[in-house]
Amino acid sequence: FRGGAELLFNGVKKHQVTLPCQPEPWDIRNLLKWIKQNLLKERPELFMQGESVRPGILVLINEADWELMGELDYKLQDQDNVLFISTLHGG
């Protein structure tokens, strides 16, 4: 989490997680639900909108824009690096 997004997660920028086993492969959609339930500490409306991230949150999967990877439908692989960067700044 970068660009201020980490403030919603107790200021912790890096989380290394092991996701629980489930019958279907994990995708970003399910990861976001898991993050909301397990990591997000405050003001979920600043991170999520519906089942996706809010506009203004850049999502990178292994340093590539998630729009190139299938966005919410991207199937996570072991050791994937998912980065959320807030591009929203108060003033």
- The CATH number for 43's domain is 3.10.20.30
pLDDT attached to residue 89: 65
- Is it the case that residue 75 has pLDDT exceeding 70? yes
Record the pTM.
0.87
- Establish if 36 belongs to a structural domain: yes
Please, which pLDDT band fits residue 91 given cuts at 50, 70 and 90?
very low
Q: Which of 10, 32, 6, 8 is nearest to 19 (CA)?
A: 32
- Is it the case that residue 74 has pLDDT exceeding 70? yes
- Establish if 31 belongs to a structural domain: yes
- Establish if 18 belongs to a structural domain: no
- Establish if 19 belongs to a structural domain: no
The tens digit of pLDDT for each residue in 20-35 reads 998 999 999 999 999 9
Look at phi and psi of residue 69 and say left if phi exceeds 0, alpha if psi is from -120 to 50, else beta.
alpha
- Establish if 54 belongs to a structural domain: yes
- Establish if 48 belongs to a structural domain: yes
Q: For residue 82, what is the enclosing H or E element?
A: strand 82-86
- Establish if 66 belongs to a structural domain: yes
Overall domain count for the chain = 1
- Establish if 58 belongs to a structural domain: yes
Domain span holding position 31: 25-86
DSSP 30-78: HHHHHHHHHT--S-GGGTEETTEEPTTEEEEETTEEGGGTTGGGPBP-T
